[in-house]
Amino acid sequence: MDKDRIEGAGKQAKGKVKEAWGKVTGDAKTEAEGKADNAEGRVQNAVGGMKDSAREARDKVTGKE
């Protein structure tokens, strides 16, 4: 598993918590920051997934399974 997937999942979790905290406290800035962190985490997770897929395809072609 690519490190980007792990870091992305962490950012998503952090973003969700931050967003919820912003909603509870009525802090629009914190809520927006949470949404941004969550979106960044989703992108990073997707990049990691693509890296994993590319690595698997390379290993199939080279016979490293």
The domain locations on the chain are 3-58
Give tens-digit pLDDT for 20-46. 999 999 999 999 999 999 999 999 999
Predicted TM-score of the model (pTM): 0.81
Q: Is the pLDDT of residue 8 over 70?
A: yes
Dihedral of alpha carbons 25, 20, 11, 28, sign: negative
Q: Is residue 2 very low, low, confident or very high in pLDDT (cuts 50, 70, 90)? A: confident
DSSP-derived letter for residue 23 is H
Q: Is residue 65 very low, low, confident or very high in pLDDT (cuts 50, 70, 90)? A: low
Mean pLDDT score of the chain: 94
